[in-house]
A and B are shown apart, each in its own frame.
Chain A
């Protein structure tokens, strides 16, 4: 449509060099001057009619199906989310897992009780020592030797477990921050994780696949300078956490993706089986270490942080605070740790020292029987649970009295968290999917087993 012309517009506007006739007539200047707009006249491109016209033009918003994953850089591990979007809003979501399934249970049924430790390393592969400890406690409960584990071994399990919890949370928060653009935070947190893994590597011989815990204790004693190195490490990690917090807490981009996004109520969280930092972010103070103390957790003074709104920011804040509480536990544990053996003194369970294996016939036979036949676990069933990186890490094991488990089921916290992911992302924007997913902290190895 054409806009009405302003009043007093000259009938003719002439461009170009003045002609001799115009110069003679004295109209050359008048014909080329811009018309002076009267007061109140606005150029057509700023008129309101234009805006109205643009508002009438609406984008077609038919529901569209978008595949997020399975191979997506922000998908920790491999998971596929089929989103039905309307514009920028997620209307429906179907979360599909299983791409990393590698038959943990089936393999475990064919392995001896000790051979399962390497499989547990690969469950939650950013905190493998917590899985080691959880599995060892389950077998020990069925063996009935929970009270006979040497104290020093229990302290070492707490120490390596809390170090793993810190690496777990560092990875989760660092990766989530990187996904919303805060790449510096990622580098700093991964640097701190690396310090922890260097110390773990010195102790266990591996960064990720530690297999350090044994049924009846741990594989080896702490290295001689472990305590001073751990104290120095805690100081540096604390400093890093402070720096990271100063980058994130007042960061508008980060807060926009975290505050009030993907809220979950405590009632819903319990109904959907949430545990761990995600449950605590909704305000339910359930922590296995406090509510059902195992190992020596009842001897430490630490707090269980809880959130109030159950949104992404609470999940972030709970994890930040949990790392600080883990460092408190570490400081107390390294003070209290008593000297002594790190393996139970029972030839039916722990391997004899190498000196005996190579020099005595009894030692060699004992070693051979334990390696080939495995530890004989009495028949029965048991469910044992610990606080893993993502929540209650349970092992339900059934034994038929032989050296191999009849069934070895792991209760994977992130698998159970993932089934309610669609509740969190439906109704939000596409841009909120990745931060929400990051704060759930699904670990592919644990979710798919």
Chain B
């Protein structure tokens, strides 16, 4: 079962696991951002988690670290699922928060990481093409951050050259 996968992960990387829980039957591990690439590659190659189901982020404004990037994995052989979370903080006035990209492990992460950059302003180091995907390049800010007011309006400005 998925619990065994979680235990195996904890046994292999004891120093990188921040917390684990199994709320509502969803096996979850919070890992350190510094070990993310290594753990993800191990999960894909040794753990058999070959399908990256979902990748998203949550903004816990007022908490430190502020952001959480959430990965949902599934093994096509066993059908087990695992949720990996990584917490990253934000430096006031500094560069946007950054976490390692997993595109080289699962190509499926490509647009999902672009979406997280677009809507949450979290950068992914090593992403081949980190453009906005749902909004347009001229958009200012990242609307799913909790400090972005829902009522804010922005004019749609056109790029001079429409071709890439």
Residues of chain A having any CB pair with chain B under 8 Å: 65, 67, 82, 94, 97-98, 101, 103, 105-107, 109-110, 141-142, 144, 270-273, 284, 286, 291-292, 380-383, 385, 392, 394, 396, 398, 406-407, 409, 411, 415-416, 418-420, 448-449
Contact = CB atoms under 8 A, between A and B. Distances in A.
5 contacts: A94-B164, A380-B23, A392-B53, A396-B56, A416-B108
A448 B135 CA distance: 9
B48 to A, nearest CB: 11
Given A382-B23, A392-B53, A273 B106 contact: yes
B43 interface: no
A240 B56 CA distance: 42
Contacts of A286: 76
Nearest to A80: B162
Contacts, number: 88
Given A98-B136, A292-B79, A273 B58 contact: no
Nearest to A448: B134
A142 B24 contact: yes
Contact of A398 (B51, B58, B106, B110): B58
A141 B50 contact: no
B54 A419 contact: no
Nearest to B56: A409
Interface residues of B, number: 35
**Secondary structure of the A contact surface, majority rule:** mixed
A144 to B, nearest CB: 7
Interface string B37-70: 0000000000000111110101000000000001
A163 B72 CA distance: 29
Interface of B: 23-24, 26, 28, 50-54, 56, 58, 70, 72, 76, 79, 81, 83, 106-108, 110-112, 115, 119, 132-136, 143-144, 150, 163-164
A415 B108 CA distance: 10
Nearest to B115: A415
The 5 closest A-B pairs by CB, nearest first: A273-B108, A419-B111, A98-B134, A411-B54, A101-B134
Contacts of B119: 105
Given A106-B150, A448-B134, A82 B163 contact: yes
Contact of A273 (B52, B81, B144): B52
A416 B112 contact: yes
A82 B144 CA distance: 28
A271 B143 contact: no
A419 B72 CA distance: 18
Given A382-B24, A396-B70, 8 more contacts: A271-B50, A291-B79, A382-B23, A382-B26, A383-B54, A406-B58, A419-B110, A449-B134
A418 B133 CA distance: 12
